[in-house]
Structure 1
Amino acid sequence: MKKLLYLILVLFTISISAQIEKMEPPFWYEGMNYNQVQILFYGKNIAQNQVSVSDNVVITNVVKTENPNYVFVTINTKDVSSRILHFTFRNGRKSFVKDFEIKKRRPNSALRKSFDSSDVIYLLMPDRFANGNPDNDSVKKLQEKGNRSLPGGRHGGDIQGIIDHLDYVQELGATAIWSTPLCEDNDKGYSYHTYGQSDVYQIDVRYGTNEDYKRLAAEMHKRDMKLILDYVTNHWGAEHWMFKDMPTYDWFHQFPGYAQSNYRMTTQFDSNASQRDAKYCMDGWFVPSMPDLNQSNPLVLNYLIQNAIWWIEYADLDGFRVDTYSYNDKEGIAKWTKAITDEYPYFNIVGEVWMHDQAQMSYWQKDSPIAKIQSYNSYLPSVMDFTLHDAFGNVFNENNAGWNDGMIKFYDNFTNDFLYANPNNLLIFLENHDTGRFNQNYQKDFKKYQLGMTVLATMRGIPQLYYGTEIAMAGDKGKGDADIRQDFPGGWESDSNNAFTNSGRTAEQKHFFDFTKKVLNWRKTSKAIHNGKLMHYIPENNVYVYFRYTDDETVMVILNNNLENQTLSLSRFEERLKDFTSADEVISGSKISLEKELSISGKTAMILELK
């Protein structure tokens, strides 16, 4: 009889416990500065229960919303050591218990070193990089199935594919990987880019598991490499479970329902902007399938902060890239960024601020002298240098320099560095997953690639290389995003060309790869490039000369954008050349005498280590 009663009690408890379908975050860590932890409990009519917790832990707040399927419980974990906490949910005489674990934290976790200007970041799209586990290409629980024959479909690349080719990335000379998002995206189609996430605590199972992601970070750390997570604060996907059953009406921006963003980010700081225009930038949806998150709602903001910190701690991450940063509620995103950098003082975060004016981009960088005028601080350490990307667009086709054409475009870009709080913490790039391909634009012209890669490898800032550029991959943006996001050759067993290996590369791929490898691996050794000052000279005859230097090291870079040879009078650069009499030329490996003149061939770059 007792056994029967016990069985009935167990079955009853299980049925009641099943009332909780989600608990987020799923656990937390001891010793965190962010110790007022807001735990979301989700389940049918869960808000009808009263909540308590064990071990004298203090519940500082309980929020029940208009949706009875949610309750938000905040606990103070300041002095709570690693243990299992027991939350009791009681409704009259019925009750059940849900466990919540406080885990041990890694030693010195808060002081982790992030990516900086000594790094080279390799940007890849996991679905298009390498398929390490074909068994997860299609899964029952997610709508879109693998279909490599469909340009905009899922092709099967995954986390295991990245792990399998870390040696390749390391050999190339990159020291960090930025992968486009990996959390679950359950859109019916076009889900491979994963920016419309449907669960931000779970890796998309077509990429692997949460444990696989942790393993990727661990494998990279063995190689002294860094892992950067692509975080999306502005929106989720329409398949997100919280969009299907909203905690509050204002969890997402409502108009009611959908309204398109006007994409005019200038309204965020324009003192003459109408409130309506500013609202439609910040609150409008990026696209109809991406509901816009409301960071001015404290529940939403706390959720996003905790999720970001949880991923850093759980996966042992080294940095963030934040998508569509300047479309967010500007006060909310500043609080989000500050909360993360307060927890991790040396953690670097680079925001996508796709603008075409240095003052406007500067506005979004931490301690900006521009934003200071409006008493605003985003606390964002780094922004993406889109004006430099603009200069890369056509400059190497401009053989005959004019007042505004040719190498003057680079010079003019860097003359505005005074606008930035920290120009050396800008992300610089030839291209990324949203832009036209550099090698498409320049028709795989190797000399023009050398010029572009030399600027990328030697200029101030943090260089980012888009996957496949180093093997001459191209793609026409005019044909759609899929064309600029093609599969890396050799990432699939059926590929006839395996560019991951020296023996598998074509002659063209080898030509591009070997040059990139030489320059990027040399870059690892140069303190002047990592942290040195920049001095540049007004381009003459379409030749741009600049120096990167410290007290102990000087590097001279010469870029001849003419078709013809040019001879430079070195007396013009006496201010920086001083007593240097010779140089090692990095690209050719030759010795250069620094006497009165120096000749350089047409469409050629030189990197000189001065002696």
Structure 2
Amino acid sequence: MRHALLALSLLAPLVGAAQTVERVEPAFWWAGMHHPELQVMLYGEDVGRARATLAETPGVTLDRVVAVENPNYLFLEMTVGPDAEAGPLALTLEGPDGTQTLDYELRERSRRPGSYAQGFSSEDVIYLMMPDRFANGDESNDSIPGMLEGADRSDPNARHGGDFAGVLEHLGYIDDLGMTAIWFTPVFENDMTPAYGAYHGYAATDMYATDPRFGTTDEFVALVDAVHGRGLKVIMDMIHNHVGDRHWWMDDLPTSDWVHDWERVGQTNFTGPAAIDPYASEADRRQLVDGWFVREMPDLNQRNPLLAQYLLQNTVWWIEHTGIDGIRMDTYLYPDKAYMARWARYVLDAYPDFNIVGESWVTNVPHEAYWQDDFAAPGDGYDSDLPSVTDFPLAFALRGAFTGGGPYAIYETLAQDHIYPDPNGMVTFFDNHDLDRAYSDADDLSALALGYAFQMTTRGIPQVYYGTEVAIPNGPRTGGDGYKRLDMPGGWPGDARSVFTEAGRTEREQEAFEVVRALSRWRRTADVIHHGRLTQFIPRDDVYVYFRWDEDPGSEPGAGSTVMVVLNAASEGRTLDLGRLAERLGSVATGRDVVTRTVYDLTRPTLAVPARTALVLEVQ
């Protein structure tokens, strides 16, 4: 490592004015945590030149004090053992011109086991929202004095003012829609310039604070509690690959290798295969990992042990303090992959019921599978310890399947599921905040209905992008991503109408809403969809048929719980040969559509399927 790690006992005496402490991170910790190690970062003028001591405290020891090349930082490495009790830890910083005492707070863990860090699974339907674009419940925080960007709804790539209060007002809507978990794009402070437009949250300027334009950290905690009060879960978006260039570190970096040097490495090559390629050049691999995502996002060096520990603890702090249930980790394949595996183990060791999904934006199944826990790649032996991965290959197949491409690509993609250690742990989607909305611009809603029926009945953990339920369209392409992230009509005071109410929806929006709600609410209790087996038949004439089933070994086909899904992507009606499906239908008599409640006779040799229609049949 290029930075100097100096034991405090070897430091020269403090000269000049007494040290000052401006920041302590994390600001507090807890007794009784799974991991006993605690690293506290102190920042302030000349704090690194001080002598630090800890008053004798049962169960707590100050093991090492680390000064670095920047004298304005000091790292305290402590052990908080199982016998430690909640209360203040008396830390003293002493120099020849003054002494400062810090009472570091060690809190009692107050959350009830089982009430948080619950994880998410194939039993859930995840509602992905960008808080800035969902609803504005508190106009007073739209523009905050001293912060670089205020709200401007006239600019699709600017901040619009959505906040925690707006989400809180509409939790009943999300619950009624049939969602069971909410994934928020990052809520960290993003005090970036208006020219950059950091409403999305992926350019953190303080990793221990929520953005005040969303609300305070306490308000976020209250929102998480309110979500839990409805029996729903919260997934928090995190980024360990980079921060924003206005992060307070950037004015005074702790070490010269805290972030990678833009002048030396420049931008990442965005070539994900370099991370797994057995023939990759080291230069290409380093460019992928060490290069910056964009110029405004300094790339963090997770190989720095002090930064690595900082990031590990930051994750645990947010879980313990707020009570979230899962994490979506952004740009998973861009950081140091050894660190990312260590991070996943660290979190899941502390919270065994927790779940993490890593964003791995790749195009093929073998590459996607590499990042899932227990893949153990031949050749390099890498195991990510990551339970869930975003299923981009299936998303790409799905996006074209019902808008002219046909469903064969879906069949072919699922046929490769043998590569995944746990295909049912993959997060499925057909669009998100980074992609054009897949079906909202279609001439009719049949593409959305077909795609949504597939997503609600296939294997995996479905993620639904906010506004899909009312077929929010793509906006005008104005040079940024804002067109993919339009505001929810009615989420802002003064909006002409509100899609949060039936009266405020157009006929088209209500049609989409009814399909989405019916399938999502049905799926909540459809255990065969959560955990059952999947049998698919090769698509013929743009008709794709598959079964989700769960039966005792040796029982007759069709016995137990069975759902038959028929997706006719053709523009004409089709006649389905039921005899071809006998191995799964057996002697079942009827199938009831879970949306329309229509009953179909399955004892006949054929079944007529109207054009552009999805049938989701509970077989009797």
Answer yes or no: same fold by TM over 0.5: yes
Match of 1:88 among 72, 76, 92: 92
SS in 1 for 2:209: strand
1:48 is aligned to: 49
Is residue 351 of structure 2 the alignment partner of residue 353 of structure 1?
A: no
Q: Quick one: which amino acid aligns to residue 381 of structure 2?
A: S
Deviations 1:528-566 (A, max 9, x none): 101111110111111100011112311110001111111
1:584 is aligned to: 592
Match of 1:182 among 176, 183, 187: 187
Is residue 575 of structure 2 the alignment partner of residue 567 of structure 1?
A: yes
Cα distance in 1 between the residues matched to 2:118 and 2:240? 23
Aligned-residue offset at 1:439: 2.7
SS in 1 for 2:298: coil
2:398 is aligned to: 392
Is residue 120 of structure 2 the alignment partner of residue 115 of structure 1?
A: yes
Does the CA-based 8 Å contact 1:438-1:474 persist in structure 2? Answer: no
Does the CA-based 8 Å contact 1:388-1:428 persist in structure 2? Answer: yes
Cα distance in 1 between the residues matched to 2:475 and 2:539? 31
Is residue 484 of structure 2 the alignment partner of residue 484 of structure 1?
A: yes
Distance of aligned partners of 1:477 and 1:573 in 2 relative to their CA distance in 1, 3 Å threshold:
farther
Runs of 5+ in structure 1 lacking a partner?
Answer: 1-14, 399-404
Segment of structure 1 superposing worse, 170-179 or 564-573:
564-573
1:602 is aligned to: 611
Does the CA-based 8 Å contact 2:578-2:607 persist in structure 1? Answer: yes
Cα distance in 2 between the residues matched to 1:354 and 1:339? 24
SS in 1 for 2:235: strand
Alignment of 1:162-181 (within 5 A): 162-181=167-186
Aligned-residue offset at 1:255: 4.9
Cα distance in 1 between the residues matched to 2:155 and 2:98? 53
Is residue 59 of structure 2 the alignment partner of residue 29 of structure 1?
A: no
Is residue 199 of structure 2 the alignment partner of residue 192 of structure 1?
A: yes
SS in 1 for 2:320: helix
Cα distance in 2 between the residues matched to 1:46 and 1:19? 6
Aligned-residue offset at 1:587: 2.0
2:556 is aligned to: none
Runs of 5+ in structure 2 lacking a partner?
Answer: 1-15, 552-559
Distance of aligned partners of 1:110 and 1:328 in 2 relative to their CA distance in 1, 3 Å threshold:
farther
Does the CA-based 8 Å contact 1:436-1:477 persist in structure 2? Answer: no
Cα distance in 2 between the residues matched to 1:18 and 1:450? 64
Deviations 1:387-439 (A, max 9, x none): 111112222232xxxxxx52111100100000101000101001000001113
Does the CA-based 8 Å contact 1:326-1:353 persist in structure 2? Answer: yes
The TM-score, its normalising length taken from structure 2, stands at 0.93
1:456 is aligned to: 455
Is residue 273 of structure 2 the alignment partner of residue 266 of structure 1?
A: yes
**CA RMSD between the two structures:** 1.6
Deviations 1:256-282 (A, max 9, x none): 466100011111111111110000000
1:378 is aligned to: 384
Aligned-residue offset at 1:374: 1.7
Aligned-residue offset at 1:582: 1.1
Q: Quick one: which amino acid aligns to residue 496 of structure 2?
A: S
Alignment of 1:431-450 (within 5 A): 431-443=431-443, 445-450=444-449
Cα distance in 2 between the residues matched to 1:74 and 1:109? 30
SS in 2 for 1:439: coil
Distance of aligned partners of 1:253 and 1:180 in 2 relative to their CA distance in 1, 3 Å threshold:
same
SS in 2 for 1:219: helix
2:140 is aligned to: 135
Distance of aligned partners of 1:21 and 1:109 in 2 relative to their CA distance in 1, 3 Å threshold:
farther
Cα distance in 2 between the residues matched to 1:163 and 1:223? 11
Cα distance in 2 between the residues matched to 1:561 and 1:377? 39
Cα distance in 2 between the residues matched to 1:111 and 1:203? 19
SS in 2 for 1:536: strand
Cα distance in 2 between the residues matched to 1:143 and 1:575? 64
Cα distance in 2 between the residues matched to 1:497 and 1:570? 46
Cα distance in 2 between the residues matched to 1:200 and 1:442? 40
Match of 1:229 among 220, 223, 236: 236
SS in 2 for 1:412: helix
SS in 1 for 2:565: strand
Cα distance in 1 between the residues matched to 2:126 and 2:18? 45
Cα distance in 1 between the residues matched to 2:207 and 2:201? 11
Identity %: 40
Cα distance in 2 between the residues matched to 1:111 and 1:141? 35
SS in 2 for 1:99: strand
Cα distance in 2 between the residues matched to 1:435 and 1:457? 20
Aligned-residue offset at 1:92: 2.7
Aligned-residue offset at 1:336: 1.1
Cα distance in 1 between the residues matched to 2:396 and 2:471? 20
Alignment of 1:141-160 (within 5 A): 141-160=146-165
2:64 is aligned to: 61
SS in 1 for 2:311: helix
Q: Quick one: which amino acid aligns to residue 73 of structure 2?
A: Y
Cα distance in 2 between the residues matched to 1:55 and 1:536? 65
- Count, aligned residues: 589
Cα distance in 2 between the residues matched to 1:511 and 1:124? 21
Is residue 97 of structure 2 the alignment partner of residue 97 of structure 1?
A: no
Does the CA-based 8 Å contact 2:372-2:386 persist in structure 1? Answer: yes
SS in 2 for 1:326: coil
Aligned-residue offset at 1:578: 1.5
Does the CA-based 8 Å contact 1:114-1:346 persist in structure 2? Answer: yes
1:472 is aligned to: 471
Cα distance in 2 between the residues matched to 1:511 and 1:352? 32
Aligned-residue offset at 1:515: 1.1
Q: Quick one: which amino acid aligns to residue 89 of structure 1?
A: L
1:77 is aligned to: 80
Deviations 1:283-306 (A, max 9, x none): 000000000000111111100000
Cα distance in 2 between the residues matched to 1:142 and 1:255? 26
Does the CA-based 8 Å contact 2:440-2:468 persist in structure 1? Answer: no
Cα distance in 2 between the residues matched to 1:37 and 1:66? 21
Q: Quick one: which amino acid aligns to residue 284 of structure 1?
A: G
Segment of structure 1 superposing worse, 339-348 or 286-295:
339-348
Does the CA-based 8 Å contact 1:174-1:520 persist in structure 2? Answer: yes
Aligned-residue offset at 1:141: 2.4
Does the CA-based 8 Å contact 2:125-2:179 persist in structure 1? Answer: yes
Does the CA-based 8 Å contact 1:435-1:477 persist in structure 2? Answer: no
Cα distance in 1 between the residues matched to 2:66 and 2:419? 44
- Greater share of helix: 1
Does the CA-based 8 Å contact 2:117-2:319 persist in structure 1? Answer: no
